[in-house]
Amino acid sequence: MTTDTFPPLRNDLILRAARGEATERAPVWVMRQAGRYLPEFREVRKDHEFFEVCRTPALATKITLQPIQRYTGLVDASIIFSDILVIPQAMGMEVLMNPGPQFPDPLVTPADVSKLREVVNVQKELGYVFDAITQTRNELKGEVPLIGFCGAPWTLFAYMIEGGGSKTLQKAKTWLFKYPEESKALLLRIADVCVDFLVGQVKAGAQLLQVFDSWAGELSPHDFSIFSYPTLLHISTSVRRRLAAENLHSTPIILFAKGANHALGFLAKNAGYDVLGLDWMIDPAEARRVVGDSVALQGNMDPNVLYGGKDAIEAAVKRMSEGFREGKGGWIANLGHGITPGVDPEDLRWFFECIHKYSHQS
């Protein structure tokens, strides 16, 4: 084990829950917790483009810390401010954000893969994320752990081919079904970059990792097992092997495969992740029954409950807490997807307070 030089950690609740311990209360954070619902975030964004913020460690650090400062003592993890689309950029693609992601030159046919960098030097291309992580770890002063992340290969592949968001993923699916071998090869190429990127984030100071497969639910169970699952397994095994080989702490890894609840039992047994993130389409107690006590669970309140007012939030948190506490195993409280821009920050505060109140282990 390496001993690092960062300030000592004062709140390890999320690390214990991720390792499967039933904690005295559930640790809580929310996806996109540093985002547009915060006036202090919008203030920084007035003067800086989205990817400029990602590429400037001082700005990324400042924004990562915003929810930690606003909700001191209520939130149990920070997540580095960045985006899943920095990997396509590192592979040589141009990505704009206006206001959603847009690729001026997406991959149209497999011949376009030759436009990607053959060898991706992650340190060179994404060293700014590593610098932001190191700076954030220092400025957190051990208050809460710092989460690093990447997009899953299938979700990134879909963006690289669609050229942005899409309702049907028709272009990405054309690739899967017309060029399955070329698709698998590209998916594995992306996965290798993910591995380097995640290992680099741990070296830089990330204490937990999350892989976002936001579009997993667009695939049938069969296609998920053919096109996404092998890359997710490749990432978990390779990251763990590399961390062990380099004598680094074995960091818990969270997989958020949105919409792939059909695969929960299989993923719990086989995918090699410590925590499975859940969207809100599955009942907490049912999810716990399906996975047994082999993994911790994270989630899963519908983010739109935050628009329902304090009573609705309290009732949903109480119900969710009872569900997750039915079985054994760790639980990290979160939303079932990212918080959206219209939420009143005081309603998020209330969500955190309700988690503190209702998630106690009896």
Ligand X SMILES: Cc1c2[nH]c(c1CCC(=O)O)Cc1[nH]c(c(CCC(=O)O)c1C)Cc1[nH]c(c(CCC(=O)O)c1C)Cc1[nH]c(c(C)c1CCC(=O)O)C2
Site residues for ligand X per CB under 6 A: 31-36, 45, 50, 79, 81-85, 97, 99-101, 149, 165, 212, 214, 338
For 96, which DSSP code? E
Cα gap 233→222, rounded to integer Å:
16
Size (the chain), residues:
362
Instruction: For the CB of residue 190, give the shortest distance to ligand X in the complex, in Å.
Output: 14
Q: Say whether 296 sits in a helix, a strand or coil.
A: strand
Cα gap 251→130, rounded to integer Å:
16
Which one, 201 or 325, has the nearer CB to ligand X? 201
274 included as an active-site residue:
no
Which one, 132 or 358, has the nearer CB to ligand X? 132
Q: Say whether 346 sits in a helix, a strand or coil.
A: helix
- Catalytic-labelled residue, pool 16, 19, 36, 349: 36
DSSP string covering 1-30: -PPP-SPPPS--HHHHHHTT---SS--B--
Q: Residues with Cβ < 8 Å from 207, sequence gap 6 or more?
A: 9, 15, 145, 146, 147, 249, 251
Q: Residues with Cβ < 8 Å from 68, sequence gap 6 or more?
A: 75, 78, 140, 143, 144
Token pair for residue 242?
A: 């590399």
Beta bridge partners of 97: 101
- Catalytic-labelled residue, pool 71, 159, 229, 358: 159
- Catalytic-labelled residue, pool 37, 55, 83, 196: 83
Question: Which residue of the chain is nearest ligand X when measured via CB?
Answer: 214
Instruction: For the CB of residue 147, give the shortest distance to ligand X in the complex, in Å.
Output: 8
Instruction: For the CB of residue 99, give the shortest distance to ligand X in the complex, in Å.
Output: 5
Burial 9-23, CB ≥16 within 10 A → b, else e: beebbbbbbbebebb
83 included as an active-site residue:
yes
Token pair for residue 216?
A: 């997993």
Which one, 127 or 338, has the nearer CB to ligand X? 338
Which one, 77 or 288, has the nearer CB to ligand X? 77
The backbone torsions φ and ψ at residue 97, rounded to the nearest 5 degrees and listed phi first, read -130, 100
Which one, 8 or 100, has the nearer CB to ligand X? 100
Burial 25-39, CB ≥16 within 10 A → b, else e: bbbbbbbbbbbebbe
Which one, 263 or 335, has the nearer CB to ligand X? 335
Which one, 68 or 287, has the nearer CB to ligand X? 68
Instruction: For the CB of residue 159, give the shortest distance to ligand X in the complex, in Å.
Output: 7
349 included as an active-site residue:
no
Instruction: For the CB of residue 211, give the shortest distance to ligand X in the complex, in Å.
Output: 10
- Catalytic-labelled residue, pool 16, 19, 45, 240: 45
Instruction: For the CB of residue 2, give the shortest distance to ligand X in the complex, in Å.
Output: 26
32 included as an active-site residue:
yes
159 included as an active-site residue:
yes
Question: Are 209 and 84 contacting, i.e. CB atoms less than 8 angstroms apart?
Answer: no
Instruction: For the CB of residue 360, give the shortest distance to ligand X in the complex, in Å.
Output: 26
- The strand pair at 101-102 and 96-97 is best described as antiparallel
Active site residues: 32, 36, 45, 83, 159
